[in-house]
Amino acid sequence: MRKSARAAPMAALPLTLSLPLILAIGLGACLPGIAWAKVCARDDAGHDICLEAPAQRIVALSPSVTELLFAAGAGERVVGVVNFSDYPAAARTLPQVGGYDRLDLEALLALDPDLVVAWQGGNPREQVDRLSRLGLPVYFSDVEDFAGIAQTLERFGTLAGTSGVAASAAASLRAEVSTLRERYADVAPVPVFYQVWEQPLMTINGEHWISRSLELCGGVNLFADASALAPRIGVESVLARDPEAIITGGMGNPDSTWLEAWRDFPRLTAVQRDNLFFVDPDLVQRATPRLLDGTRALCQRLEIARGRR
């Protein structure tokens, strides 16, 4: 039977522990009645994930999951990631196990993980199910908003044995979000078109976390009623809804190409008032604590739009 987690190395134990306790911990697997505390957390698929001890070797199957694990204080326990896991900087040096949409299972298994954190909406289900059949504990993550980010931090802290760091990070996030919500509670609404992609032209509906961030700032997502999370639309639809502000992250670094293209439609209110705004896509396109910085950036852009009325 596969072990759920490994014991911590002796060198990692606090120096303040007594010698008998150090010996008891170090020999816990050999002595009857001495064991690590079992840890459990419910994932976003409704499964209860229980480990015999906090995870020591975690593989993260999306860049967002990687960020969340590091934010929860579990970065030193992450031993594998997927492509584009570029934040924080320490994640860039970790072994990669393919892309989120096509995993390298051989590379993943070679890392001998005691916990795999999957992206419920993005990883190939057949590959993830295979990991479960092989006896690996798999936690499914599907974060949709700030409440979900904070809750996920706490759950990861429980599974990795870093509850103190995770609880502090979650509490700070909730407090900052509450401050933003109070600050923009009574501002005048701003009709917004958020552009995700150019060809094909794509936006977000009201269920996406970017839309919820816009709403927190007093923005009104003009495509909130779309059925798809990231629907494809036509230019004519944008012209018909006449946004007061257009916001995009473009290709990053900051790239204003997509925004400049809207100047071909001078009748748009957003163009007339020069409310064509760029935001760093890294700050808004992942549901992680950095979304707070992205939300502040969105709020700042909408404040500029209000000032140009």
| pLDDT tens column, 64-110 | 999 999 999 999 999 999 999 999 999 999 999 999 999 999 999 99
- Tokens read off for 7: 């014991």
- The pTM of this model reads 0.85
Mean pLDDT along residues 27-42: 61
Cα separation of 132 and 118, whole Å? 11
Burial of residue 178 (CB within 10 Å: 0-12, 13-18, 19+) is exposed
pLDDT cut 90: percent of the chain above it? 83
Query: Domains (ranges, CATH) in the chain?
Result: 37-174 (3.40.50.1980), 186-307 (3.40.50.1980)
Give residue-wise pLDDT tens across range 134-149.
999 999 999 999 999 9
- Tokens read off for 198: 């150019």
Give residue-wise pLDDT tens across range 258-308.
999 999 999 999 999 999 999 999 899 899 999 999 999 999 999 999 999
